[in-house]
Amino acid sequence: MADYESPTIIQPSIPQTSITPLERLLLYNMFQSELDGDKVYFFAKKWIEDLIELNLNELRRAYAESVDLGGQAVAFTAKALAAARPDDVTITLDMTETSWEFFFQDIIAREPGLKYVKALSAWTCSKMKPDGFGGMAVLITAERILGKSTDDVINDFLDEVDPDGKFEEAADEHS
């Protein structure tokens, strides 16, 4: 069986004061982190967690402390809290129903000293499988989220060197 990993780094480090209690709770459970002075450096050694289990009271508290600022974390959590049963102690959040990029975008929008955040990911595999290698770069600003995979970059190169698509036609003939 092949093991796929996607180590990721987020740069620059984020001022702690710019992160709401709810964003902090969610991001700290999706990423690993280290303090960098008065900032937080986020990274994922193997992959960004997409299923996180939280104490429901802790989530409610972080939500209440953050709700006035709004944002994607608040909107996502409101739905999750509405679905929780009264006797639940923990809650498992499927983070694929939202996007960590939106959380960073909200932070950037609130923090005047932070113009952008970049995320760099490598895609690796324990076996030499064609779909197990590559990477991705994401640029997040207050207004936009842009991303390209290494396959996107190769396609851009092909468009540059072969604007008439002759390489594509030749590849199709041999398939």
Rounded distance between C-alpha atoms, residue 16 and residue 125, angstroms = 34
E strand or H helix at 147: strand 145-149
> Is residue 20 pLDDT above 80, yes or no?
yes
**In the structure, what pLDDT confidence band is assigned to residue 73 with cuts at 50, 70 and 90?**
very high
The answer to whether residue 169 sits within a structural domain is no
The answer to whether residue 166 sits within a structural domain is no
The answer to whether residue 102 sits within a structural domain is yes
The answer to whether residue 174 sits within a structural domain is no
- Mean per-residue pLDDT for 8-28? 97
Q: 66 and 73 in contact (C-beta within 8 Å)?
A: yes
The answer to whether residue 79 sits within a structural domain is yes
Q: Count CB-CB contacts under 10 A for residue 128.
A: 8
Q: How many domains does the chain have?
A: 1
User: 141 is in which domain, residue-wise?
Assistant: 4-150
> Is residue 132 pLDDT above 90, yes or no?
no
The answer to whether residue 171 sits within a structural domain is no
For tokens 């396609």, the residue is 155
The answer to whether residue 168 sits within a structural domain is no
Model pTM score: 0.87
The answer to whether residue 10 sits within a structural domain is yes
| Best CA proximity match to 49, nearest among 65, 28, 73, 77 | 28
